[in-house]
Structure 1
Amino acid sequence: MASSKSLIKYFFDINSPYSYIGFELLARLQSRHSSALAVQWSPVRIPAIFRNIHAKYKSPFIQIPEKTLHMERDLRHQCEYYGIEMRVPEGNTSAFLKAGNTVAAQRLIVAAGEEEVSQSPLIHAFYTRMWRDHLPMHEDAHLHEVLASLGIDQSTASSLIAKSKSPEVKQHFVDYTQEAIDDGAFGIPWMKVYRANEVNHESFFGSDRFHLIERHLGL
């Protein structure tokens, strides 16, 4: 794992609005320090992380109403502050989250990385599709729409979608999720942060920890 660059392994789900904020902030951080910082985008299945926590501690999966209402306000404040375009559903955020099926999209992100297709524009497109446009992303036609919007030709798009359904990509998606669980993740975004030329890492949780990560890495 040791590298001449610092590395952030970013575990996220398109279904997570705070992962969306974290994605935008991490992309900006990487842009500022491109010569010294690498990012590995690692899609995970957040329900699997919650199921693991529930099995251990019997913690409820369903958010209490007061927390949901606070989350809606908090997301609006953060997006206004950081200049992130997001339309948070009013009054039914929990139902909206449950309805979002992001598995196909996230497997496509894994496949893109393995085919050396830039993942950042694809991740951004899926986040805006869910959190700005409130559109689905679970059918092949939805995936083709997103890829076409990025200027990817139909032949390449079909190949990527086919690869996203392969046993290898499905397993890598499972492996990313398990890696986060094994590292102690209880929510997302979760990050494993490696300093340059070091094999050990520090773990960080949340979209509001990038100032601490930047300081930790000496950037």
Structure 2
Amino acid sequence: MGGHIDLYLDIGAVNAASGNKPPWTLPAKAVYGVHDSQRSLRAVGLSNVSAPGDLMQAGRTIVPLRALLYIKSQYPAATYLATWRALFHAFWTLHQPPITPEALEQTLASIPAGTNFASSSPPETLGKGREEEGRRLFSAEEVAAILRAEKSVEYKNTLRETTQRALDQGAFGAPWLWVTSAATGESEPFFGSDRWSHVYAFLGLPYQDVELLPPGAAKGSQAKL
């Protein structure tokens, strides 16, 4: 069971090539999106997340994407995932999108060692045990190497290639997942943040789906699976 999921694409390039547009550019979707985003945040227990102003500007994430491709190739999975966690926190909670080399450098240099990417606590509160106090996930030299790699032809080409691969697979927006089953070797596309049950079923993973409880059962948050 299990498999592999590809996540990388330059959403601006995908939208331009596919003819798609961000949902908030359609007025009716923008109005509805306020309700949908708040419901989604409540569903996963988040209360300190919101859009950082102009998403068209903030969403130009080519710089951090190239950096992440380098980190993924050079560091353990835990480091890579902790970096994702910190970048999301900077973007959606601190409203400091790490979309320029300067902003990215500041974010990378501030990630504490021992950051737990699966925790609901913000990165700056993580990894603060006595043995970790004052340490950072990346040294100054490592941050400099990441920034050099981000500017390199190699990782510029890598992001172009992963984006083109997504387009060749039919991508038209995000989140776009190309999922390959380890059991069968077959791959299928999945679109949308609410499609995880479909992904689990495709991979043959055990999961518990949402179901309506009988009348008289607990309601609201007490009824969550």
TM-score with structure 1 length normalisation? 0.73
Structure 1 SS opposite 2:194: coil
Report deviation, 1:7. Answer: 1.4
How many residues of Structure 1 are paired with residues of Structure 2 in the alignment? 176
The runs of 5 or more residues in structure 2 that have no matched partner are: 112-135, 206-225
2:10 to 37, 41, 45: 45
- 8 A contact 1:76–1:88 mirrored in 2: no
Q: Matched residues in 2 for 1:86 and 1:136: separation?
A: 15
Q: Matched residues in 2 for 1:52 and 1:141: separation?
A: 29
The runs of 5 or more residues in structure 1 that have no matched partner are: 12-41
Q: Does 1:66 align with 2:52?
A: no
- 8 A contact 1:104–1:139 mirrored in 2: yes
Counterpart of 2:194 in structure 1 is: 208
1:167 to 131, 153, 162: 153
* TM-aligned CA distance change 1:136 to 1:192, over 3 Å: closer
Counterpart of 1:146 in structure 2 is: 107
Report deviation, 1:71. Answer: 1.1
Report deviation, 1:204. Answer: 0.6
Report deviation, 1:113. Answer: 1.0
CA-based RMSD: 2.0
Report deviation, 1:51. Answer: 0.8
1:8 to 5, 9, 12: 5
Counterpart of 2:65 in structure 1 is: 106
Structure 2 SS opposite 1:184: coil
Structure 2 SS opposite 1:193: strand
The structure with the largest alpha-carbon Rg is 2
Report deviation, 1:60. Answer: 5.6
Report deviation, 1:108. Answer: 0.7
Where has structure 1 moved over 6 Å in runs of 4 or more?
A: none
Q: Matched residues in 2 for 1:153 and 1:146: separation?
A: 12
Higher-helix-fraction structure: 1
Whose RCO is larger (CA < 8 A, sep 6+)? 1
1:64 counterpart letter in structure 2: L
